[in-house]
Amino acid sequence: MRPNAQRGDPKSIRYQLGLHFLGISAPGPGFFEHAEYEFILQAGDVAKRLKPRLPPPPLAGLTEDELRSLLPVGEAFLRIEERTALRLPEPVDYFSIDVWEERSNWLNTQRKLLGQCYIPLEQRFNKRLCTWSIVKEKSEVGLIICRFFLGTTPAPVRGLHVVRAATRSSELRLVWELPTSDGDLPLRGYRIEVRSEAELCRVKKHKELKTKRMSTRRGGKTIITRPQQSKAREQLRRDVEPRTASAPASSEPGATLTHLSGNTVYVIRVWAVNEAGAGPAAEVMGQTGPISPGLCGAARGATEGEEQALVLEWEPPSDNGGADLVAYRVWLRPVFQDGLGGFFPATNFIDLGLFEHVGHPGATQRAPVRVDQLPSCSGCLCSVAAINSAGLSGQSLEAPVVWAHDPEREKEIFEGSSSMSEDLKVDGGRVVITPSLTAQSPAPSHPEPITAFDPVAEGKGVVRNIRMDDRSNPTWNVSTRGALVARPNN
C-alpha cells in the first residue's frame, strides 16, 4: 500500500528557540552587589520571563576564566547558568531581551530597566557562544554571554506502509523510514492516529453540526443562534475522537496496532515529533484481515430428481468476512416422539461433513441427505456453518426440517398442540426447547443434567453439561452457535 500525499499544513509547523545564559557584565567594579536581575524574552508574539538563580549552579564544560576571556578587561562580571526555550508558531528574524535590575535596602526597593539586548537569529550564530551588547539610550551599558539553538519540527516520515504478511483480523503492522530532517533537534518519537472510514464520515457530520445555525423568530425578528449541546451531539463528539498510539524513536521505526475491528479499512496518520512539536503527517490506508463469515439462511427441505430425493437448501451469508466462501459444514439433530406424545431433540448431532460452495457468491446451496441412513425420527434440526478461504468458520442457527412436507405435520412437531406439552416451538427462526413438568411426567427430586452441544467450536462437537437446580420451567434457547443457553422464565 502506497501512502497518500503528505498533508502537512505549513502554518502548523513550529520552531523552538533554546537559550543558554552564562553571564552578564557591566563597567566598573561592585556593580552587581546587592542586586537581582530579571530577563524578559520576546520573539515575535511569544514572550517569557526568566529570573536567574543566585548564586548560580556549577558550570558544565566551561570555567569562569574562560567566560571572562570573552569580556573586556576590568568589567564587573556576574556568572549565570540558566536554560530556557521558546516555541514559535512562525520564524522570526531576531529576539530581544529586556534586562531589569532590582536593588533593595532597608527603606525601599528600586526596580529599573538596565537596558535591552537584540540577538539576530542567523545560522552563523546558531549554537555558538557569543557576547551581545545591552543598550540603553543608544549607549552600551553591559554585555550578555549566551548561545541559542534554533530548531524546527521534523520532516514527514518516509515510506509509510502496512506489512501485509503481518496483517491479522485485529492487528496491522506499520513500518516507515526516518524523516529526511529532524529539524536540528533530537527526535522524541512518533505519534500515530487511526480512524476507520465510518469514523471519518462521523467526523464530517460532526463538523457540519458545529457550523449549523438555528433560526428563531422573536418579536417579528429572525435571530440566528447556535444549536445547544444535546446528548446525541455530545456522544457524536466522543465518537469522532480518533484512537492514538505512540512509537519510540529508533533506527528502524515501526508499530503494531492492536484491538482493531476485523475486515475494516482504516486511515492511519503518522507524525515525527521532536522538542519543537510534531511535523507534517504521512498517511496510508490499510485493511485488517478477514473474520468469520456471517449466518447462513435457515435450512429447508426440498426434493430433486425423479426419485424425489431429499436435499437441504440454504442461502449463503450476506457477509463473507472479507474472504471468498469456499465450503459449508452441515449437522443434523433428530427429533423423536416419546410415549406421552411429546417431541424432544436428540442430544448428539449427526455430522454430514463439508460441502463445497457452488455457483456465484449468492447462489442457493444444496446438500443431499440419505434418509435411509438416518435413525427413525419425526424430523431434524439442521445447522449450517459457512467457511471462507481464510479457514474461518461462521456461526450456525438451527432450523427445523421435516421429511413429510406437510405444514400440518410440521406444526404438530415443532409447535405442539393443546393436548401436548410444548417441548419444541419455532420463534422467528429460533428453536425454543421447553422441558415441561406435567402430572404424567413428574419432576424428579434431583433433575438430571441437560446436555448442550456446540457443533461449531473448532469444527468438533463440544459437550457442555448444564444442571437445573430449580423446579420452575426454564426456557432453553438455541444460540447462534447452535448451543443451548438457559434463561429461566422467572
CATH of the domain at 140: 2.60.40.150
Q: Report the b/e string of 339-367 with b at 16+ CB within 10 A.
A: eeebbebbeebbebeebebeeeeeeebeb
Q: Do 341 and 443 reside in the same domain of the chain?
A: yes
Average pLDDT in the chain:
75
CB 177, CB 158: distance < 8 Å: yes
Query: Is residue 451 assigned to a domain?
Result: yes
| pLDDT computed for residue 336 by the predictor | 85
What pLDDT is attached to residue 75?
Answer: 79
Instruction: Return the SS3 of 299.
Output: coil
Are residues 272 and 356 part of one domain? Answer: no
Query: Which of 152, 178, 197 is the C-terminal boundary of a domain?
Result: 152
Q: Provide the grid cell at 385.
A: 456453518
Helix axes 231-239, 197-211, angle to 10 degrees: 140
Q: Are residues 337 and 430 in the same domain?
A: yes
C-alpha span between 222 and 22 (Å, rounded): 64
197 vs 134: which has the higher pLDDT: 134
Judge if 232 and 136 occupy the same domain: no
Whether 1 is covered by a domain: the verdict is no
Contacts of 107 (CB under 8 A, 6+ apart): none
How far, in Å, CA of 262 to CA of 139, rounded?
Answer: 72
pLDDT of residue 306: 64
What does the alpha-carbon distance between residue 163 and residue 171 come to, in Å, rounded to a whole number?
11
Q: How confident is the model at residue 252 (pLDDT cuts 50, 70, 90)?
A: very high
Q: Please tell me whether residues 167 and 267 are part of one structural domain.
A: yes
Instruction: Answer yes or no: is pLDDT of 95 > 70.
Output: yes
Question: Using CA atoms, how far apart are residues 305 and 307, in angstroms rounded to an integer?
Answer: 5
pLDDT digits (tens, 9 = 90+) for 323-360: 999 999 999 888 888 777 778 888 888 888 899 999 99
From 265, 287, 309, give the residue that closes a domain.
287
**Residue 110: pLDDT above 80?**
yes
Shared-domain flag, residues 66 and 177: no
**Same-domain check for residues 137 and 172:** no
Strand, helix or coil for residue 81: strand
Q: From 137, 152, 167, give the residue that closes a domain.
A: 152
50 and 122 share one domain: yes
Q: Over 70: is that where the pLDDT of 141 sits?
A: yes
pLDDT of residue 48: 94
SS3 270: strand
Longest pairwise C-alpha distance within the chain: 122
For 413: left if phi > 0, alpha if psi spans -120 to 50, otherwise beta; the answer is alpha
Question: Nearest-CA neighbor of 153 among 17, 275, 7?
Answer: 275
- Give Cα separations from 456 to 58, 137, 353 (angstroms): 73, 90, 12
Asked if 172 and 207 sit in the same domain, the reply is yes
In total, how many domains does the chain have? 3
Instruction: Name the band, by pLDDT with cuts 50, 70 and 90, for residue 465.
Output: very low
Q: Does the residue 294 lie in any domain?
A: no
Q: Give the whole-angstrom CA distance, residue 352 versus residue 407.
A: 25
Same domain for 166 and 140? no
* Residue of higher predicted confidence among 11 and 381: 381
Q: What is the domain extent for residue 120?
A: 11-152
Together in a domain, 319 and 465? yes
Query: Is the overall model pTM greater than 0.75, yes or no?
Result: no
* 374 and 453 part of one domain: yes
